[in-house]
């Protein structure tokens, strides 16, 4: 079946970039990305390409090339479904907040809503592709909704369906590259014709040997497992980092040493403030839920440990900041560098910064938060604390009386006066070459720099009389003292 019209439901971090690349690589296919969030759609359609709703290097250039030619963003969900030969479901599947599986299982209500929309409006033969990160057996839910939809309606509309699973493996910040040169494309399904229709789209730019066909359940489980394995590496290295700090080793050296074993490999071994992002925690919790559901409590506990370690590690960092600042941060001025969950994205979902900032505000700190791509509106939504807009305009003497608050800042230099500490939480490129000599003259002594991303060099900081802590770096500890204790 030749695909001429694609509809993608969900214009988010997955749907937007993925459809931009499909339209770019397949000029003969009309691609419409629909979303019921009107603001988001307007942003995708904005004249100024700097105002797209998501920041992703290289994305604006591709949207500029394709939008209006064969790539469209709209809120006309029903119309778009009607026209489509292939429908991608790319809506969000956050963790359930209440009911059975609360805090663990994914909430499928948006996926279900989409399946119902498709059942109501699709005409002719439609291939439905699930792209959202989903718990295993979601395709079954979609299928039963489509097949169970009123038979007479299907008959009048002459509707038939095939459901495929095609999980997305792009990482934010490198999404365009990941989509253009994927390690693999995974397509799960039962119907050979439908699988080939989707394969043919990808084979416009992906080598055939990288397009893997599996059964639908393997495809869904592979997505959860890939993210669980990646997240597990980060919890592993962060746990070793804590041990390094305690014993005098340096986690970077350990990572280099173990990473050169080709069986282990060198990627994803950067100790940091703990993993964030919309996928890792959610996918592992899904795995935990599924394992418990299928009577495998040991398997569930194993994977749950990865999430628990991550959460412990994030709190460990905020505790450590408090400890180093003489056990109290009340009324102290702390600059937070980075709020996004990683560099090169404006996404803050599950960002370590949220937990760490909340902890520090709770302890009474005055946080001056900098991020080149995250808006103060977003920070407020994440912290669930109003921005103290007077904070940055207050004189230093007034600041010393304030307790527990935050404000967003545009530049580091304009807010550094009398700061007690700087905490680096996202590895934005601009934090690699800060002028520490100037910064050092403006901070209140003893001043601390906490580098949770290993972006700084020790000598650059210590030479200017600043105290320096780096994640996983115990090399400055006196090991003989430690052993005696």
> Which residues belong to the active site?
168, 223, 279
Least distance from ligand UDX to the Cβ atom of residue 484, Å: 33
Q: Are 29 and 146 in contact (CB under 8 A)?
A: no
Residues in the chain: 485
One of 23, 30, 80, 92 touching ligand ADP (CB under 6 A)? 92
One of 3, 7, 8, 15 touching ligand ADP (CB under 6 A)? 15
Interacting residues with ligand ADP between 269 and 308 (CB under 6 A): 278
Site string for ligand UDX, 201-240 (x = CB under 6 A): --------------------------x--x---x------
The interface partner of residue 202, options being ligand UDX, ligand ADP, none and the CB cut-off 5 to 8 Å by kind, is none
Nearer of residues 11 and 237 to ligand UDX, judged by Cβ: 237
Distance, in Å, from the CA atom of 242 to the CA atom of 236, rounded to the nearest integer, reads: 10
Distance, in Å, from the CA atom of 121 to the CA atom of 106, rounded to the nearest integer, reads: 26
State both tokens at 213.
């066909």
Report phi then psi at 383, rounded to 5.
Answer: -80, -20
| Residues near ligand ADP (CB under 6 A), total | 20
Cα-based distances in Å from 41 to 34, 58, 73: 8, 19, 6
Q: Is 138 in the site for ligand ADP (CB under 6 A)?
A: no
Distance, in Å, from the CA atom of 311 to the CA atom of 272, rounded to the nearest integer, reads: 12
Report phi then psi at 441, rounded to 5.
Answer: -70, -20
The interface partner of residue 275, options being ligand ADP, ligand UDX, none and the CB cut-off 5 to 8 Å by kind, is ligand UDX
Distance, in Å, from the CA atom of 246 to the CA atom of 316, rounded to the nearest integer, reads: 13
The interface partner of residue 169, options being ligand UDX, ligand ADP, none and the CB cut-off 5 to 8 Å by kind, is ligand UDX
Q: Give the residue among 271, 425, 431 at the shortest CA–CA distance from 352.
A: 425
Interacting residues with ligand UDX between 261 and 320 (CB under 6 A): 268-270, 272, 275-277, 279-280
Containing 379, the helix (H) or strand (E) segment is helix 376-383
Q: Give the residue among 7, 257, 250, 272 at the shortest CA–CA distance from 128.
A: 7
Distance, in Å, from the CA atom of 235 to the CA atom of 253, rounded to the nearest integer, reads: 17
One of 8, 10, 219, 251 touching ligand ADP (CB under 6 A)? 10
Q: Is 12 in the site for ligand ADP (CB under 6 A)?
A: yes
Q: Give the residue among 85, 108, 217, 209 at the shortest CA–CA distance from 164.
A: 217
The interface partner of residue 341, options being ligand ADP, ligand UDX, none and the CB cut-off 5 to 8 Å by kind, is ligand UDX
Nearer of residues 270 and 291 to ligand UDX, judged by Cβ: 270
| Residues of this chain that bind ligand ADP (CB under 6 A) | 9-15, 35-37, 40, 77, 90-92, 110, 113-114, 132, 278
Binding stretches for ligand UDX (CB under 6 A): 168-172, 227, 230, 234, 268-270, 272, 275-277, 279-280, 341-342
């Amino acid at each position: 079946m030749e695909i001429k019209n694609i509809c993608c439901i969900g214009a988010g971090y997955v749907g937007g970039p993925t459809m931009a690349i499909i339209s770019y690589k397949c000029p003969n296919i009309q691609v419409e990305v629909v979303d019921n969030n009107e603001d988001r759609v307007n942003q995708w359609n904005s004249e100024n390409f700097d105002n797209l709703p998501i920041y992703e290097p290289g994305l604006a250039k591709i949207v500029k090339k394709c939008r209006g030619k064969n790539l469209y963003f709209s809120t006309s969900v029903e119309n778009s479904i009607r026209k489509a030969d292939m429908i991608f479901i790319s809506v969000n599947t956050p963790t359930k907040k209440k009911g059975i599986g609360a805090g663990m299982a994914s909430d499928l209500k948006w996926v279900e809503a989409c399946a119902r929309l498709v059942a109501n409006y699709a005409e002719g033969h439609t291939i439905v592709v699930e792209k959202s990160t989903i718990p295993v057996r979601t395709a079954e839910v979609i299928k039963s909704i489509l097949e169970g939809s009123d038979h007479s309606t299907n008959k009048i509309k002459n509707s038939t369906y095939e459901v495929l699973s095609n999980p997305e493996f792009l990482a934010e910040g490198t999404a365009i590259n990941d989509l253009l040169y994927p390690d693999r494309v995974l397509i799960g399904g039962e119907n050979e014709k439908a699988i080939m229709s989707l394969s043919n789209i990808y084979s416009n730019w992906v080598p055939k040997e990288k397009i893997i066909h599996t059964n639908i359940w393997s495809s869904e489980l592979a997505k959860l497992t890939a993210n669980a394995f990646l997240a597990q590496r980060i919890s592993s290295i962060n746990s070793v980092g804590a041990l390094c700090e305690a014993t005098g080793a340096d986690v970077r050296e350990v990572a280099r040493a173990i990473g050169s074993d080709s069986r282990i490999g060198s990627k994803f071994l950067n100790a940091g403030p703990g993993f964030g992002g919309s996928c890792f925690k959610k996918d592992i919790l899904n795995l935990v839920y599924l394992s418990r559901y299928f009577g495998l409590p040991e398997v569930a506990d194993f994977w749950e440990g990865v999430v628990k370690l991550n959460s412990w590690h994030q709190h460990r960092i905020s505790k450590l900041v408090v400890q180093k600042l003489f056990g109290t941060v009340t009324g102290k001025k702390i600059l937070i560098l980075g709020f996004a969950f990683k560099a090169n994205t404006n996404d803050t979902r599950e960002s370590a910064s949220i937990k760490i900032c909340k902890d520090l505000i709770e302890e009474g700190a005055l946080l001056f938060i900098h991020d080149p791509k995250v808006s103060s509106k977003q920070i407020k939504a994440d912290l669930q604390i109003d921005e103290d807009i007077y904070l940055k305009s207050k004189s230093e003497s007034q600041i010393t009386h304030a307790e527990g608050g935050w404000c967003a800042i545009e530049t580091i230099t304009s807010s550094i006066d009398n700061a007690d500490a700087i905490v680096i939480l996202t590895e934005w490129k601009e934090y690699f070459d800060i002028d520490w000599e100037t910064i050092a003259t403006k901070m209140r002594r003893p001043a601390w720099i906490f580098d949770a991303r290993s972006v700084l060099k020790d000598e650059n900081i210590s030479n200017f009389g600043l105290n320096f802590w780096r994640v996983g770096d115990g090399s400055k500890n006196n090991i003989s003292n430690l052993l005696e204790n």
